Amino acid sequence: MAELVLCTATDLYNILNQSTKFSKLAEPNYLCLLDARSKREYNESHIITARRAKQNEDKCFLLPESIELDCMQYCVVYDSRTDALDGEGPAIQCAKVVSQIARLPVLVLKGGYEEFSGYYHFFRSQKVFWMPQEIDEFQPYPIEIIPGLLYMGDLRQANDKNIRKDLKIKSYVNVSLEPTNLSLPSEDAFHIPQPDSCDSDLLQFFPSACQFIDSHMRANCAVLVFSKLGISRSSVVVLAYVIHYRKCTLQEAWNHVLKCKTNMRPNQGFVQQLSEWEKIILGHPLTDISNPRF
């Protein structure tokens, strides 16, 4: 039997927005999202791609049909507002049924639909059936690194006015050679025109990039750090900022960002520069970057 684990609204938001070339939601064994609320509540509005968890005549939850739960990377269950695992609400009851089949931990959404939809109203839906083509065409949003304040994404997301509006993003760090269609005051944009190469020197930009992000976050202004694909250069600047912001090691920053963006991958030259940055911030290097995980 799999264990039950609480996940935050940010965790689910990031799960929904993982992508490689296409959204991970298009992969059949990626996410099973179950809504354990009543049929009326589900029909009124639910989180995108969620299916309603059905019950039998005795009000016991049933396993979802046509889903191989033992193969799922993520199984997430939510009700209206469950916020602990020691209760007996619908989400807990449903999650316990799912856990009998699932191999990996079953996630219970902390705060339920109410909290998630309060933060991410643009991910509410009344759509019950999703055609494969609709899932294939789903456009992921930027990954959330610091809730409501710091996001990491790609060039398409930076140019998408709906994403900018939904996430209330007003400031940008562009870590690429590509121009954008953004028309911004100079104080709201920071450009690092470097290619994704082991020879590119991003370290020289870390202090000013961190100062730029700090100044906007202090004003409660959300910042999007982006590169062409949102995998290498943008993740380097985000990692550098997390080290600076939390005064933590590269390893700790790496663990946090990798949890948010599971395919982030700085090249080896950038990892060496991050090690140098760790030394600057903490006084000496603490992370062994010879580890194959880096």
9-44 confidence digits (pLDDT tens): 999 999 999 998 889 999 999 999 999 999 999 999
- Work out the end-to-end distance of the chain between its first and last CA atoms, rounded to an integer number of angstroms: 33
pLDDT tops 90 at residue 65: no
Number of neighbours of residue 99 by Cβ within 10 angstroms = 19
How far is it, in rounded angstroms, from Cα 154 to Cα 59? 45
pLDDT tops 80 at residue 184: no
| Higher pLDDT pick, 20 / 160 | 160
pLDDT tops 90 at residue 3: yes
How far is it, in rounded angstroms, from Cα 242 to Cα 249? 9
The 3-state DSSP class for residue 216 equals helix
From the CA atom positions of the chain, what is the Rg in Å? 20
Strand order in the sheet with 4-7: 4-7, 106-109, 74-78, 31-35, 51-52
From the number of C-beta atoms within 10 Å of its C-beta (0-12, 13-18, 19+), residue 58 rates as: exposed
Q: Residues 190, 226: contact at Cβ < 8 Å?
A: no
pLDDT at residue number 179: 81
pLDDT at residue number 62: 95
pLDDT at residue number 187: 86
pLDDT at residue number 26: 93
pLDDT at residue number 182: 79
Mean pLDDT for the stretch of residues 266-294: 93
Q: How confident is the model at residue 130 (pLDDT cuts 50, 70, 90)?
A: confident
Mean pLDDT for the stretch of residues 264-276: 96
Task: Give the predicted TM-score (pTM) of the model.
Answer: 0.95
Distance of CA 208 to the CA centre of its chain: 25
pLDDT tops 90 at residue 129: no
Q: Residues 196, 233: contact at Cβ < 8 Å?
A: yes
pLDDT at residue number 292: 79
Domains and CATH numbers, the chain: 4-136 (3.40.250.10), 143-282 (3.90.190.10)
Q: Residues 240, 271: contact at Cβ < 8 Å?
A: no
**pLDDT tens digits for 240-263?**
999 999 999 999 999 999 999 999
Q: How confident is the model at residue 98 (pLDDT cuts 50, 70, 90)?
A: very high
How far is it, in rounded angstroms, from Cα 77 to Cα 61? 12
Distance of CA 135 to the CA centre of its chain: 18
